[in-house]
Structure 1
């Protein structure tokens, strides 16, 4: 009697992968895995956009210039890639017309009966309000629900961060509640609104919804 074999589930479903491309007012948005050679543009934008980013991101260890210097990227990239290979996160770079424009990460991936994670993102100050972050969130959410096999994603945003709130609402996330004193941001414990979406709510996908409403086009 022949032995019965069963498919072995990937240790890191959805990684590496390319969630796709969309056309928005700012240009062609593409999401791809982070690369070691992203260091130069990553550092240049992060150092230039300190005032734009630091007020919304969790407080880090050490001065901003040190944490975002060119030489600090290789260790961050290696850590992200290690987590991705263990199936614990999906770290992506956002590009616009082929140029580095930000990051989007699905983190704290939990499998088994929960199959959930959080999603976080940042984009260059030069392309805010150009539809880039919304397109990236839609692309990665669909990828997480399909290729990565997740069921729920959530995102937390400070109530004062109106641009990021608009991104999540336009992408198709719904507000669930308020987390009081949730994260240490800019040196103080800040309240955050919680947004979430489950696979059942996305229908044919968030990308399809963006395109059908005219907020983006297929590239």
Structure 2
């Protein structure tokens, strides 16, 4: 079943379906924000960095037609600011998905990313009917960690050498949220100030383990 990609809005933040003709503008923003984004860019262990932006967009749209993804661009005041992808959409007994995102350096700190993540998560929960959303973040990525903290995603654990990022396999902190936790919606809970500020706290043992790449202690 194909995924219908909606246009979602909160104030000046707009999520709209990605288009192949967005490739040039996306490349321009990626290049302008190269130093800002490179530490967090997904790479391949078996291939060089791929700058086939049109090919990447076509692949994302194919995923939407297959019902496994929702690819968006993030806009504000009519300007393309970044990208958000809902991927790994699985139905049935799992009913879950994963979010990944980026915004250009000139758009950081303006509340665009938490608004975009909240909009996408609410759509997945209340329109698509999935049960759980997951976000995995590198321990060093402080801006992204602030996003899950603002929105109240729960910390769920450290994943070792989980995703190939910027040329190597990197540890990630995993955060999750289920629809039962946000009956009023992620966006409304955030806007109303009812987020638990401790939900996204990472235990010190996991921070140390990620920082020094030492084995985790066995479970008790």
Same fold (TM over 0.5): yes
Aligned with 2:136 (options 156, 167, 174): 156
Aligned with 2:29 (options 26, 38, 45): 45
Q: What is the distance in 1 between the residues matched to 2:194 and 2:153?
A: 18
Q: What is the distance in 2 between the residues matched to 1:42 and 1:208?
A: 30
Corresponding position: 1:12 with 2:2: yes
* 1:136-155 pair list within 5 angstroms: 136-155=116-135
Match of 1:62 in 2: 48
Residue 75 of structure 1: how far off its partner (Å): 1.5
TM-score, normalised to structure 1, is 0.83
CA RMSD of aligned residues (A): 1.7
Question: Residues 172-208 of structure 1: CA distance to partner in whole angstroms, max 9, x if unpaired?
Answer: 2111110011122222221100000000011210111
Corresponding position: 1:188 with 2:168: yes
Q: What is the distance in 2 between the residues matched to 1:85 and 1:169?
A: 32
* 1:180-219 pair list within 5 angstroms: 180-213=160-193
Task: For structure 1, list consecutive stretches of 5 or more residues without a partner in the other structure.
Answer: 1-10
Match of 1:112 in 2: 92
Corresponding position: 1:128 with 2:118: no
Q: What is the distance in 2 between the residues matched to 1:177 and 1:214?
A: 23
Structure 1 ranges of 4+ moved more than 3 A: none
Q: What is the distance in 2 between the residues matched to 1:184 and 1:81?
A: 22
Corresponding position: 1:22 with 2:10: yes
Q: What is the distance in 1 between the residues matched to 2:123 and 2:42?
A: 26
SS of 2:109's partner is: coil
Match of 2:57 in 1: 77
Q: Does 1 or 2 have the higher relative contact order (CA < 8 Å, sep 6+)?
A: 1
Q: What is the distance in 1 between the residues matched to 2:30 and 2:170?
A: 22
Corresponding position: 1:100 with 2:57: no
Q: What is the distance in 2 between the residues matched to 1:189 and 1:82?
A: 26
Residue 73 of structure 1: how far off its partner (Å): 2.3
Task: For structure 2, list consecutive stretches of 5 or more residues without a partner in the other structure.
Answer: 196-220
